């Protein structure tokens, strides 16, 4: 009996030992899986089961001063395909065919996108609208999902493209205000991390963590869409009529520096962008702030301001115009090559005498002259806040190769390079009792319940109010003189302005038979509400600013002043019903 019992006990012990070894093996394996390689398997599991979805914020809108949207974002949908779920080539082809019908894309293109990407999920269509997204969802194809994105819409069409700018594919601003205010407009992306099932759909009541997206702020501009519309149409018509190469029109409120309209040509079509065309890169800049030009006779108002403010002349001061002015061995003549004899300071402006302007600069002297040039804002950025703004080029006595003939030519706007925005800002200072205002185009950044307003900034008092008033009277005389020849009157309103016809500088000299015609002025002259610069580049038929640009000023002012509810002078008014 005892021998049988010990045999059973031995066999039992062997079985127990085997079981114990097996259990130990299991324990070691569990320790290995759950402790030693815990992190590795956890990451693998997360990669398999967890998905991360970036929640793109809604991009803010760009609105005009009255709240009309110039650029806004609407939700769009991108279609993603999970290659692993589509699996075999036959199944992929079949699914791609079904999808291609809805996306209106060739099946082969869709398959090529999948083959060409190393990612598991591939975008096969972008920017679908709501109806198209519903059609894709109704297909119910496994492995296909929609993610929300956005696309930019332009309700006013191709209005102010160079100012507004445009977005890239990833909704980042690439040019214009879209780039300059990208952080404000773009908001902050959110994220959704969730557990997904085998089809890629989120599992309810499973792990999910969401950080909400913060929508972008809306930007409210100082631009008025109606004025912008008028300005762009007038600019296009004028360029076409005079077969010009381009042009710029800027309208500014001289009292605040707010830019009411800004248009430049040539430009691009923001509604039909083709960023792959490198030849069009040149069109994307805002020429009103980036392009330099020699302003010509318009600059005589700056020279006259300085002379009047320094008291070296009065409107009735006289000089003898012999038709030539000599400086540093160079000879300067008038635009008509004529000698006009005894002329008053006012006639220097009304007849646009180069010799007279050079005489004024000589009276002033280099230091005061360039001091006023700098005080009017030339040779430096205006601070408008638009990227690419050029500071301009002004050669002063401090420059090595400066000579007195530079000052003489600068006095009538040649040999000095300015931007259109600098020119209109300086003229606005004359309209604003001598106060130079900082121009601005963004009035408000609006985020939720918070608003960040831009307040008008007085840069400096350049000339006294008396000087400004005196110069305004002289500039009215200029317009009166032009009105006698060209139909540029603004019925019911007094206009102060100055014409310009400037040569175009090129390396080594000036371009023959090519000019930049311009007119700048403000209205009503006694209490200006708008200042305007009209600049047309290389008009082919007639080069004169008075013939090309002054009528544009008159047409625009005639339409805009009633729109701004600026009452004309009494004789132009009709009391009651004009038909009775």
Partner 1 sequence: MTTRVHAQPAAMARERAVPRKEGRQLSLPSLVTICLVVIGLAGLLPLIQSSNATSTSSSVLQLERARNDWQARVQELQADIATLGSLDRIEREARGRLGMVSPSETIYVLVDEPAPETQPVPLRFLPSKTEQPRHEDSWWESLLGKLPLR
Yes or no: say if 261 and 223 are a contact pair by the CB < 8 Å rule: yes
Q: How far is the CB of 206 from partner 1 (least distance, A)?
A: 9
Give least dist CB 122 to partner 1, A. Answer: 23
Q: Which two tokens stand for residue 504?
A: 């175009």
Annotated catalytic residue, options 297, 361, 411, 518: 297
CB 450, min distance to partner 1, A: 19
Q: The tokens of 177 are what? A: 């205000």
Residue 374 and residue 326 in contact, taking contact as beta carbons nearer than 8 Å: no
Residue 119 CB, nearest distance to partner 1 (Å)?
A: 25
Nearer to partner 1, 156 or 371 (CB): 156
Nearer to partner 1 (CB atom), residue 276 or residue 577: 577
CA distance 409 to 299: 10
CB of 537 to partner 1, least distance (A): 26
Which residues are at the interface with partner 1 (CB under 8 A)? 58, 63, 66-69, 72-75, 129-130, 133-134, 148, 153, 155-157, 202, 204-205, 225-226, 229, 491-492, 558, 562, 565, 567-568, 572-578
Q: What is the 3-state secondary structure (H, E, C) of 288-305?
A: HHHCCECCHHHHHHHHHH
- Return the number of the residue (62 or 547) whose C-beta is nearest partner 1: 62
Whether 352 sits among the annotated catalytic residues: the reply is no
Residue 45 and residue 191 in contact, taking contact as beta carbons nearer than 8 Å:
no
Q: What is the DSSP letter of 338?
A: -
Instruction: Give start and end residues of each alpha helix (H) in 295-383.
Output: 300-310, 345-350, 354-364, 366-375
CB-CB contact of 372 with 308 (8 Å): no
User: H-helix or E-strand containing 530?
Assistant: strand 530-537
Nearer to partner 1, 215 or 415 (CB): 215
Give the span between the Cα atoms of 234 and 374, in whole angstroms.
32
Print the SS3 string covering 123-135. EEEEEECHHHHHH
CB of 568 to partner 1, least distance (A): 6
Torsion of CA 124, 129, 132, 133, to 10 degrees: 70
Question: For partner 1, which is the closer residue by CB, 3 or 565?
Answer: 565
Burial code (b: 16+ CB inside 10 Å, e: under 16) for 245-276 equals bbbbbbbbbbbbbbbbbbbbbebbebeebeee
CB of 154 to partner 1, least distance (A): 9
Nearer to partner 1 (CB atom), residue 224 or residue 476: 224
Nearer to partner 1, 15 or 153 (CB): 153
For the record, the structure tokens of 209 come out as 């963590």
Contacts by 275-283, CB closer than 8 A, 24 or more apart: 275/168, 275/174, 283/162
Residue 344 three-state SS? strand
Can you tell me the distance from the alpha carbon of 184 to that of 552, in angstroms, rounded to the nearest whole number?
37
Nearest to partner 1 of 75, 236 (CB atom): 75
Asked whether the beta carbons of 171 and 149 are under 8 A apart, the reply is yes
Distance CA 418, CA 421 (A): 8
Q: Which helix (H) or strand (E) holds 450?
A: strand 450-453
Q: Tell me whether residue 448 or residue 576 sits nearer to partner 1 (CB atom).
A: 576
Beta bridge partners of 326: 331
Nearest residue (CB) to partner 1, 58 versus 93:
58
Three-state secondary structure call for residue 163: helix
HSE-up of residue 485 (Cα within 13 Å, Cβ side) = 11
| Cβ atoms < 10 Å from Cβ of 368 | 16
Please state, in angstroms and as integers, the Cα–Cα distance from residue 120 to each residue in 8, 48, 71, following that order.
Answer: 60, 12, 35
Residue found under tokens 């259109």: 420
Helix extents (H) in 143-210: 161-164, 176-180, 182-186
Query: Would you say 10 or 209 has its CB closer to partner 1?
Result: 209
The distance of closest approach from Cβ of residue 160 to partner 1 in the complex, given in angstroms and rounded to an integer, is 12
The catalytic residue positions are: 297
């Amino acid at each position: 009996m005892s021998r049988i019992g010990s045999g059973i006990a031995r066999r039992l012990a062997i079985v127990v030992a085997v079981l114990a070894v097996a259990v130990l093996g299991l324990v070691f394996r569990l320790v290995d899986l759950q402790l030693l390689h815990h992190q590795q398997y956890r990451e693998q599991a997360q990669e398999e089961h967890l998905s991360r979805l970036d929640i793109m914020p809604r991009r803010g809108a760009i609105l005009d001063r009255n709240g009309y949207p110039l650029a806004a974002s609407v939700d769009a949908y991108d279609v993603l395909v999970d290659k692993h779920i589509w699996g075999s080539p036959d199944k992929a082809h079949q699914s791609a065919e079904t999808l291609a019908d809805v996306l209106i894309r060739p099946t082969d293109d869709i398959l090529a996108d999948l083959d060409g990407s190393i990612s598991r999920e591939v975008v096969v269509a972008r920017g679908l609208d709501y109806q198209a997204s519903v059609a894709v969802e109704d297909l119910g194809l496994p492995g296909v999902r929609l993610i929300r994105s956005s696309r930019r819409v332009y309700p006013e069409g191709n209005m102010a493209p160079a100012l507004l700018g445009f977005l890239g594919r990833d909704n980042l601003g690439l040019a214009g205000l879209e780039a300059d205010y990208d952080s404000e407009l773009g908001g902050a992306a959110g994220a959704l991390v969730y557990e997904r099932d085998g089809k890629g759909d989120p599992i309810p009541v499973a792990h999910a963590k969401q950080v909400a997206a913060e929508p972008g702020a809306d930007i409210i501009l100082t631009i008025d869409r109606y004025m912008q519309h008028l300005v762009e149409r007038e600019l296009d018509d004028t360029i076409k009529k005079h077969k010009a190469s381009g042009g710029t029109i800027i309208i500014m409120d001289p009292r605040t520096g707010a830019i009411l309209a800004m248009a430049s040509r040539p430009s691009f079509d923001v509604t039909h962008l083709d960023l792959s065309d490198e030849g069009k890169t040149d069109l994307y800049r805002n020429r009103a702030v980036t392009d330099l030009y020699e302003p010509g006779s318009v600059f005589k108002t700056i020279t006259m301001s300085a002379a009047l403010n320094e008291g070296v002349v009065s409107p009735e001061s006289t000089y003898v115009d012999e038709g030539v002015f000599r400086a540093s061995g160079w000879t300067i003549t008038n635009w008509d090559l004529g000698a006009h004899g005894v002329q008053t300071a006012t006639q220097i402006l009304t007849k646009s005498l180069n010799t007279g302007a050079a005489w004024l600069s000589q009276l002033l002297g280099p230091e005061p002259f360039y001091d006023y040039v700098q005080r009017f804002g030339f040779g430096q950025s205006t601070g408008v806040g638009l990227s690419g703004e050029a500071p301009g080029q002004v050669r002063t006595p401090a420059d090595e190769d400066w000579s007195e003939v530079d000052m003489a030519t600068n006095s009538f706007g040649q040999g000095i390079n300015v931007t259109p925005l600098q020119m209109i800002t300086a003229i606005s200072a004359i309209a604003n009792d001598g106060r130079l205002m900082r121009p601005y185009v963004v009035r408000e950044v609006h985020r939720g319940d918070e608003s960040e307003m831009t307040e008008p900034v007085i840069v400096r008092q350049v000339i006294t109010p008396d000087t400004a008033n005196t110069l305004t009277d002289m500039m009215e005389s200029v317009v009166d003189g032009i009105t006698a020849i060209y139909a540029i009157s603004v019925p019911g309103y007094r206009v102060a302005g100055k014409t310009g016809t400037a040569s175009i500088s090129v390396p080594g000299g000036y371009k023959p038979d090519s000019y930049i015609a311009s007119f700048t002025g403000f209205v009503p002259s006694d209490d200006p509400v708008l200042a305007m610069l009209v600049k047309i580049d290389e008009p082919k038929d007639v080069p004169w600013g008075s013939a090309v640009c002054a009528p544009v000023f008159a047409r625009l002012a005639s339409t805009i002043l009633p729109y701004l509810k600026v009452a004309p002078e009494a004789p132009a008014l009709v009391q009651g019903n004009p038909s009775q």
